[in-house]
Amino acid sequence: AGCDEDGDLVLAPDEPHAFTRFVHAVPDTSGMDWRFIDQIENSPEWFNLTFRQFTPYRATTPGERHLRIFPKSTDINVTQQHLIDTVLTLAEDTYYTIVHVGHSRAGAASPDHILLIEDPIPTISATEVAIRALHLATGQPTVDVFQTATTTGTLPACPTFSGVGLE
């Protein structure tokens, strides 16, 4: 909210939003710049996102959105190239994780690509924690995820998540 020149109250428009975050899961690349290129407003970008890093959720205009991922460089001949060029469809009031997975080097057995993962936000009590396990290593077998109370605790007999495969 704010005031105009006459002192009248002016409210910012209540626009629809999706919410997106980015995850860099490509082990054979350096930093990357992520950018929606179809419009300026409500188009999150992130610069120099490196392997295993992720961003917070940010408001994003829903609908068909054009995303490109560029290699991080100060050389214009490198930065004008893109690793990913894709269109994603985002729904209003929905949270998404956008993950760049695979390998970007030529001839890789598991070429890089984008995973668009919808993130339903669970309803939990104030004394609970929600946990989600994602396996993002392309070309690797499924994994079991175990949960202990401490980092030195003995693993339980049964995994918390069993047979987690690539999303």
Nearby residues of 35 by Cβ (< 8 Å), 6 or more positions away: 43, 45, 67, 68, 69, 70
Q: What is the pLDDT of residue 167?
A: 62
Q: What is the pLDDT of residue 70?
A: 93
Q: Supply the DSSP string of 85-146, one letter for each residue.
A: EEEEEE-TT-EEEEEEESB-STT-SSB-EEEEEE-------TT-------B--TT---EEE-
Kind of pairing between the strands at 63-71 and 32-36: antiparallel
Q: What is the pLDDT of residue 73?
A: 86
Mean pLDDT in runs of 10 for the chain (167 residues)? 71 88 93 94 95 96 96 86 94 97 85 93 91 85 90 90 84
What is the H or E stretch that residue 20 is in? strand 18-25
Q: What is the pLDDT of residue 139?
A: 81
Q: What is the pLDDT of residue 100?
A: 95
Nearby residues of 140 by Cβ (< 8 Å), 6 or more positions away: 166
Q: Amino acid letter at 99? A: V
Q: What is the pLDDT of residue 63?
A: 97
Q: What is the pLDDT of residue 132?
A: 86
